[in-house]
Amino acid sequence: MKNRFTGVRRAGWHVGALFAVLTLACIGVAHAQSAAKTAADAAKKICAGKTITIVWEAGLQSLDPLNFSGPLWEKETGCKVKVVEVPTAEMFTKIMQEYRAGTGSYDALNVIPAWMPDLVQAGALEQLDKYVDKYGFRAELQKIAPTYRDNQMTVNGKIYGFPDDGDVFLFYYRKDIFARDDLKKEFQAKYNYPLAVPKTWKQFDEIGSFLTEKLKKDGTYGASFFREPPYTMYMFQERFRVEGGKFFDANMKATVNSPIGVKVFTEMRNENRFMPPGVEKFGFVENLATFLKGESAMTISWPPYGRFAAGYLGSEKALEWVPKSTVAGKVGYALPPGGHPQLAAGFALSVASSSKNKEAAYLFIQWLNSEEISTKRVQLPYTLRDPFRDSHFTDPVYLGLWPDAKDYLAALKAGSQTGLLDLSLIQTDKYEEALRQGISRLWAGEDPKKILDDVAKQWDDTTAKIGLEKQKAVYNAWAAKSGAYPK
Amino acid sequence: MASVGLGSFRESNFKYLLVGPAIFVLLLVGVFPLIYLLLVSFQGITMTETSTDFVGAENYRQLFDDPRLWQALLHTVVLTAIALPLELVLGLAMAQLFLDRLPGRAIFIALLVLPVVVSPIVSGATWSLMFNHRFGPLNQIIGWIMGKETILLWTINPNLVYPAIVAAEVWQWTPFMFLLLLAALGNVDRSQLEAAAIDGASWWRTFFRIVLPAIAPVMSIAILIRGLDLFRLFDIVWALTQGGPGTLTETISIFTYIKGFRQFETSYTAAVALLVVILLSALVMLLLRRVELAR
């Protein structure tokens, strides 16, 4: 009996152990389930048959939810996606207008991270922490590249958006031109240092000027930039800080008109002399066309330039407007002079506080932002979404997309480690608008010092109107972030 | 007696009963927004402040402390003062030209009127391409004339930006003037013109003494309509310069849009809008009085 009893007890212990192991295994499997699968499974229950409306930047960006992620989400969950395409310049306005109207017609949003303090203060964004914990997404959020994760996700320590676009300025240069022996010898003789990727803006000016002098007769300029004010505003913000400038002093008085600001403004205008005529009117596309046609040896822009220059367009009809690259295989990638590229604009995914489907909207953005799905999205040739997770930079598929893709991803990764944030305050657009107008006056030929004095005055007036202490607290919180100023 | 009195009352007021609903709807649609605008202009609603507490005349005080507003008004007046006479003179000249029967007259008139049909924002975008420093035909033509490549930045250079806007504006709206004035010229009493010709009056004398007084009422209305349109000028300027360089070409409409829809200064924008309403109302009343005098 004893033996039998002991045997029964032993058998019971075995069954119990087996049950425990199976339970643990099930829990393990549950935990191992990807964030994408977790979101999709949950959405099946609460969203099937419903429609989520998401605001997305109009144009190529929208092809992601229209052609790829939207249909895939619907296939996996039965939940439809309606995309509201809005031009970037109108996105803030539309989001705010909808929030004020309270119609609940937007569920999920693409927001530029610099807008977050404004949108949060207005109450337009839903705080996401409770959903992040409920659906176990916190661990995957930690795998977003630190610059984006630490700087573009939270306001006052609370999560309001998932950084979803590794927008960063890269420096593109013609490797074949920089490798020419005749140019290298002449440059060395003239400037007493080798012709190489410029590390400082002084070097950039000298190299640009030299290359224009040597190559203009063949139709190539030393450099070209997009110079329309909205783009140049980001370039100024970067360069001003790289040169040691601070936007405000300890009393929150604008110091954008410091000697550093005036120096940067003056140099920027002088550089136009070695760039193609009319560069002041160059936007994203004009500058892209110039570089792709081999008419400039150096440029700075967002990551898609690198893909387009390499000819990574796939057979997408949507990209037929991109000029055929004549420089594929000849383009090198580096960080802009100073080594601290602007994390210009970018996008984060958020949930509208006025949405009637907040949880479903959250699940959709978790799914979009998850490692599994985002890796596919950043490789879509047409969507302009750029790598932003650590794993994106080392993804074997991405590394093999074109011969120099590894260099491209290495440069992007380096940018994600040293990038500088856009200035982000209460009513940021007022500060940006003053700067944009200042830049347009710069191209019109006005005195840099006078322009920047006016900009500083407008900034101070705006600060006074918002409330000095209130704005100072927001600025100090921004300035304390790792990507605010070069360390 | 009482029933007769009531009947008379009904009869005399029946007309008011008929027009009453229409007047009510008109007041609702036309006056209520104005009253609401007035109300909002005394509140402090901004992007972050949704409280509807009254702030007194703060927004109106701010009107006088805002140089950008007065500059925008000045730019609007300058553009109106340049474009309106140009459109009037060109429209009148074209109408005079097409007054006589010409071969293909109807086709030419239809072609001339085409710009009016185009949406102003499309017109602005088209002119933006015309002024494009690389691909635009204007710089090309100037280059041919000068005998060398010429790059004029029409929408950046402070000396060129106003001529560029005026050119686009005049191109689009001169045909409107032309149409109205052509109709007016067609209605000038032929017998008076023939009598003047028999008396040996010169063309100028006939024009100033007979034609101009005859078309003056229509011309005043045309000036009124175009003047009001020009005061609200937005699309073409937005497409060409967005108010730049700096705020050099910012009109009052662009200023209002930026304040209201980019920066969400809702209450201040209401005050600006009311200021514009008052200014335009005064202008309209003045012009209408002149039209009356012309009659």
Q: What is the mean pLDDT of chain A?
A: 92
Chain A CB contacts of B155 under 8 Å are 281
- pLDDT higher than 80, residue B5: no
- pLDDT per residue over B144-184, tens digit each? 999 988 889 999 999 999 999 999 999 999 999 999 999 99
Q: How far apart are CA A370 and CA A379, in angstroms?
A: 14
Give the pLDDT mean for B22-30. 88
Q: Which two tokens stand for residue B46?
A: 């901004």
Question: What is the number of other CB atoms lying within 10 angstroms of the CB of residue A113?
Answer: 26
Q: How far apart are CA A341 and CA A354, in angstroms?
A: 35
Give the pLDDT mean for A52-69. 94
Say what the pLDDT of residue B10 is: 72
Say what the pLDDT of residue A5 is: 39
CB pairs under 8 A between A and B: 65
Chain A CB contacts of B262 under 8 Å are 92-93, 429, 433
Find the CB nearest B156 among A286, A433, A443. A443
Q: How far apart are CA A334 and CA A414, in angstroms?
A: 9
Do A83 and A62 meet the contact criterion of CB atoms below 8 Å apart? yes
- pLDDT per residue over B117-128, tens digit each? 999 999 999 999
Residue B242's closest chain A neighbor by CA? A437
- pLDDT higher than 60, residue A17: no
3-state secondary structure of B94: helix
Q: Which two tokens stand for residue A349?
A: 């995914």
B138 interfacial to chain A (CB closer than 8 Å): no
DSSP string spanning A87-115? -HHHHHHHHHHHHHHT-----EEEE-GGG
Chain A CB contacts of B245 under 8 Å are 437, 440-441, 443-444
Say what the pLDDT of residue A9 is: 46
Per the CB < 8 Å rule, is A93 touching B262?
Answer: yes
Q: In what order do the strands lie in the sheet with A298-301?
A: A298-301, A170-174, A331-334
Say what the pLDDT of residue A158 is: 95
Give the pLDDT mean for A455-484. 94
Chain A CB contacts of B48 under 8 Å are 118, 121-122, 426-427
Least confident of A239-243, A284-288, B24-28: B24-28
**Domain segments of chain B as ranges:** 1-36, 68-294
Instruction: Please give, rounded to a whole number of angstroms, the shortest distance from the CA of B153 to a CA of chain A.
Output: 7
CATH superfamily name and code, B68-294: MetI-like (1.10.3720.10)
Q: How far apart are CA B295 and CA B287, in angstroms?
A: 13
Chain A CB contacts of B246 under 8 Å are 437-438, 440-441, 444, 446, 451
Say what the pLDDT of residue A16 is: 54
B8 interfacial to chain A (CB closer than 8 Å): no
Per the CB < 8 Å rule, is B155 touching A281?
Answer: yes
Residue B157's closest chain A neighbor by CA? A444
Angle at B198 between CA B188 and CA B182, to 5 degrees: 20
Can you give the pTM of this predicted structure? 0.86
Mutate to test the interface with B, among A232, A354, A437, A465 (most CBs of B within 10 A): A437
Do A375 and A392 meet the contact criterion of CB atoms below 8 Å apart? yes
Do B267 and B46 meet the contact criterion of CB atoms below 8 Å apart? yes
Per the CB < 8 Å rule, is B48 touching A441?
Answer: no
Residue B68's closest chain A neighbor by CA? A458
Give the pLDDT mean for B129-140. 90
| Residue A71 binned pLDDT confidence (cut-offs 50, 70, 90) | very high
Find the CB nearest B48 among A280, A426, A440. A426
Mutate to test the interface with B, among A221, A280, A426, A431 (most CBs of B within 10 A): A280
Say what the pLDDT of residue B30 is: 84
Peptide bond into B245 cis (omega under 30): yes
| Residue B61 binned pLDDT confidence (cut-offs 50, 70, 90) | very high
- pLDDT per residue over A93-104, tens digit each? 899 989 988 899
| Residue A314 binned pLDDT confidence (cut-offs 50, 70, 90) | low
Chain B CB contacts of A429 under 8 Å are 262-263
Task: Write out the residues of chain A at the interface with chain B, using a CB-CB cutoff of 8 A.
Answer: 92-93, 96-97, 100, 118, 121-122, 229, 277-278, 280-281, 286, 426-427, 429-430, 433, 437-438, 440-441, 443-446, 451
Element holding B92 (H helix, E strand): helix B67-97
Say what the pLDDT of residue A19 is: 53
Q: Give the C-alpha distances (Å, rounded to integers) separating A20 from A10, A11, A23, A30, B265.
A: 15, 14, 5, 15, 63
Per the CB < 8 Å rule, is A281 touching B153?
Answer: yes
Residue A99's closest chain B neighbor by CA? B47
- pLDDT higher than 60, residue A8: no
Say what the pLDDT of residue B290 is: 73
Per the CB < 8 Å rule, is B245 touching A280?
Answer: no
- pLDDT per residue over A402-448, tens digit each? 999 999 999 999 999 999 999 999 989 899 999 999 999 999 999 99
Contacts 24+ apart (CB under 8 A), A198-207: A198/A298, A198/A337, A199/A337, A199/A338, A199/A339, A200/A337, A200/A338, A201/A239, A201/A242, A201/A243, A201/A267, A201/A337, A201/A338, A203/A337, A204/A271, A204/A298, A204/A337, A205/A267, A205/A270, A205/A271, A205/A274, A207/A298
Decide which of B71 and B135 is more confident. B71
Q: What is the mean pLDDT of chain B?
A: 90
Pick the CATH number of A36-163+348-384 from 3.30.930.10, 1.10.730.10, 1.10.10.10, 3.40.190.10: 3.40.190.10
- pLDDT per residue over B220-244, tens digit each? 999 999 999 999 999 999 999 999 8
